[in-house]
Amino acid sequence: MIGGIVIYISITFLIFLIFLEPRYSSKGFALAGSILNHHVTPFSSIYFLYKFRSDYTFNYSFIKAWIMYSIIYLFFLLIYGLITDDYIYPFFQVSLVGVFGMFFSIVGLVMMFIAMLFSWVKIVSKK
């Protein structure tokens, strides 16, 4: 379970850093909250997993369970976007990137997610 959580937090960090932070501007408490949520928390969770990796066992078979949450979330985003015409993230927004742009965003994110899954299993399995 801890592996999936760290992977989800790591993906959140990468997506925010690459796609959302350049478009996101905030001040005051919103900026502090954004930094804590999108930078401090991911690094803390990655450090925790790295530091205590000997306490956990990761197998490649866990990847199936970990990826299910992301697939369910993707279906939620697509259904929500079809109903409201708001796909939440700008790289999914069909009116901005088109259907092919959204498709390539999904493919790119899935590839990044799978690469991260396998990397974390490899890193943690090295005691």
Q: What pLDDT, on the 0 to 100 scale, is given for residue 41?
A: 92
Dihedral angle over CA of 76, 79, 85, 87, nearest 10: 30
**Residue with token string 């959204």:** 102
Report residue 55 as tokens: 């306490």
Q: What is the pLDDT of residues 51-84, one digit of tens each?
A: 887 777 777 888 888 888 888 988 999 999 999 9
Question: 107 to each of 7, 79, 92, 97, 99, how far by Cα in Å?
Answer: 18, 17, 11, 14, 12
Do 11 and 110 contact (CB within 8 A), yes or no?
Answer: no
Do 90 and 79 contact (CB within 8 A), yes or no?
Answer: no
Please determine, for residue 32, whether its predicted confidence score (pLDDT) is greater than 70: yes
Indicate if the alpha-carbon torsion angle 64, 67, 71, 73 is positive or negative: positive
Q: What pLDDT, on the 0 to 100 scale, is given for residue 3?
A: 77
